[in-house]
Amino acid sequence: MNTQVLPVNEESIALAAKLLQQGELVALPTETVYGIAADARNGEAVKKIFEAKGRPQDNPLIVHICGMEMLHGIVSEVPERAKKLAAAFWPGPLTMVMPRGPEVSEVTCAGLDTVGVRMPSHPVVQAVIKASGVAFAAPSANLSGKPSPTNAQDTFVDMDGRLPLILDGGESAVGVESTVVAVTGEHPMILRPGYVTKEQMEAVLGEEVLVNHAILEKLKDGEVARSPGMKYKHYAPKADVTILKGSFDAYRDYITAHAGDGVWALCFDGEEAQLPVPAISYGKEGDGISEAHNLFTVLRELDRKGAKTVYARCPLSDGVSMAVYNRLIRAAAFRVVEV
Ligand code: TXA
Ligand code: MG
């Protein structure tokens, strides 16, 4: 299959809309990461997403809408909490898991009786949904297991020959995928951290928002994941990544003792020149927003540089940094060394 990469304009939006209506795939920018869209009601179309990504069939997809009226048929009920969170954070990088409606294909939800829905703020996604009238399922546009792409070039590297169209809308602002929160049950629960934080949701809801324990630590053997995506290998570059937890001096000393061919440092801004191996920064220390924005792009950059072993500085784990820590610890296959 020939994959076209087109700049965003009226014609390319119309082409994207037509492809979606015909049950084809389109890769497109969102404010979080690039996604691969297919009509969420059309099981045959959604199957193509799983094939293009090599995604395990039991991992459900998020449905994207552009107005509250589109929830009709997608969910069977809009819980009170969801209304409050939607008023505060939609359109934006928040996915809410709600009771599934009759119109969503089984394939989209991987057979679950719930569905994750989000209303993205990116003007290109909104334009494509409006032009097509299609609520679409869209996972991140990476091959399963790799870091999510945050620009059209990285999307092309993974999806060339696998789908007909990539819309190039520049770089994604947020850089990590949406926050996923389950809004039913006794307490709301974060299933995947993102740009919208626990603290922000608690302020809106006036109640505690729980954080699923599998977000910051490895699932135990045989444990059932609350969100199927938790159990798979994720965000991994080709190199072996290890997170070094401790001061900058201890980090530098550890790397000095372990320097060698193909060893790279994944550090914070301004530290590069003080390290004994080639180094690349993933943002400002303590600034989750800047680290989230850069992380996936930098992990892919390390692949291009041929890095074999990467020692990463440890981010914080609250606020937006919770999303950064959650992605980096998976990229590192949970290897964290205290230095
Ligand atoms: O920012 C985003 O959310 C991006 C862009 C493209 O919108 N999409 C995205 O989709 O990250 P994906 O498929 O890569 O991640 C979806 C995550 C998975 O971890 C999945 O397990 C979880 O959401 N999920 C989806 N539906 C769910 C459900 N009904 N119950 C629990 N978890 C669900
Ligand atoms: Mg993904």
> 51 alpha carbon to ligand 1 midpoint, in Å?
17
The CATH number of residue 64's host domain is 3.90.870.10
Higher pLDDT pick, 200 / 228: 200
> 147 alpha carbon to ligand 2 midpoint, in Å?
8
Ligand 1 and 178: CB distance under 6 A: yes
> 91 alpha carbon to ligand 2 midpoint, in Å?
20
Ligand 1 and 262: CB distance under 6 A: no
Instruction: State mean pLDDT over 159-178.
Output: 98
Domain count, the chain: 2
Residues 144 and 256 in one domain: no
Residues 266 and 203 in one domain: no
Express as a percent the part of the chain with pLDDT over 70. 100
**What is the chain's mean pLDDT, rounded?**
96
pLDDT at residue number 232: 72
What separation in angstroms does the CA of 233 have from each of 2, 144, 274, 328? 29, 8, 32, 12
pLDDT beyond 90 at 119: yes
Residue nearest to atom 8 of ligand 1 (CA): 139
Q: Is residue 220 part of a domain?
A: no
Q: Is residue 333 part of a domain?
A: yes
Ligand 1 and 59: CB distance under 6 A: yes
> 326 alpha carbon to ligand 1 midpoint, in Å?
14
pLDDT tens for 61-93 read 999 999 999 999 999 999 999 999 999 999 999
**What is the distance between the alpha carbons of residues 333 and 339, in angstroms, rounded to a whole number?**
18
Atom of ligand 1 nearest to the CA of 120: 7
- Contact yes or no for 272/280 (Cβ under 8 A): yes
Residues 201 and 320 in one domain: no
Residue nearest to atom 30 of ligand 1 (CA): 227
> 196 alpha carbon to ligand 1 midpoint, in Å?
15
Instruction: State mean pLDDT over 186-213.
Output: 97
- Contact yes or no for 197/319 (Cβ under 8 A): yes
Residues 87 and 180 in one domain: yes
Q: Is residue 221 part of a domain?
A: no
Residues 127 and 259 in one domain: no
- Contact yes or no for 158/141 (Cβ under 8 A): yes
Domain around 271: 240-338
pLDDT at residue number 236: 84
Q: Which of 25, 180, 212, 224 to mutate to test the pocket of ligand 1 (most atoms within 8 A of CB)?
A: 180
Q: Is residue 329 part of a domain?
A: yes
Atom of ligand 1 nearest to the CA of 93: 1
Q: Is residue 25 part of a domain?
A: yes
The CATH number of residue 312's host domain is 3.40.50.11030
